[in-house]
Amino acid sequence: MLSKLSLGAVLLFVMLGNLALADEEAIAWNDLSADQQTVLGQFSGTWNALPVLRQNRLAMGANRWLKMDQKQRKQAQLRLARWKNMTSDQHQKIRREFIRYQKMTPKQKKNVRRNFQHFQSLSPKQRIELRNRWENMTPKQRSRALQRTKKQTTQLRPKHAK
């Protein structure tokens, strides 16, 4: 039996999704696969009353959940637990940043992912030190640091890649 935490992980995928589902049709509960029904069991009694967009997002979230291996599911559960412990202000900030990310060019997204991977490769102590340095900078210092990073990224590209 799936835990409430795993259902919550599915809901988190749904919430963060930015899918254009406005023209989708309602999904009857009986049209869901048995596995989807298991994941979404909490909604069985109210499924038909859910908005079409929510039904579609939940069904897609359930599909994503079902395709995950155990390690991925555990990571999703941990992310959901962190999300549940955040304040509504923190939720709003994350939503704004997600929207900002969605509006980025593919090149900008690639740079964000590369910087994130670099940050993830740092030791916990190095991460804390980097965060503290950033938080202690003035807005002007942050701006200069971002410009240096952008310049370094540009210099790393091969000349023919312009």
User: What's the pLDDT tens digit per position in 25-34?
Assistant: 889 999 999 9
Same domain, residue pair 109 and 97: no
Same domain, residue pair 64 and 136: no
Compute CA distances 149 → 11, 77, 101, 107, 161, whole Å: 35, 33, 18, 14, 18
Number of domains in the chain: 2
Same domain, residue pair 36 and 93: yes
Residue-wise DSSP of 81-131: HHHHTS-HHHHHHHHHHHHHHHTS-HHHHHHHHHHHHHHHHS-HHHHHHHH
**Gap between the Cα atoms of 14 and 64, Å rounded:** 10
User: What's the pLDDT tens digit per position in 56-82?
Assistant: 999 999 999 999 999 999 999 999 899
Sole residue written with tokens 């869901």? 32
Q: Out of 7-11, 111-115, 126-130, 147-151, which region has the weakest mean confidence (pLDDT)?
A: 7-11
Same domain, residue pair 78 and 127: no
pLDDT of residue 147: 82
Query: 116: domain range?
Result: 105-162
pLDDT of residue 111: 87
User: What's the pLDDT tens digit per position in 1-50?
Assistant: 455 555 555 555 555 554 444 456 889 999 999 999 999 999 999 999 99
Same domain, residue pair 33 and 85: yes
Contact 33, 48 (CB under 8 A): no
Tell me what the mean pLDDT of segment 116-125 comes to. 91
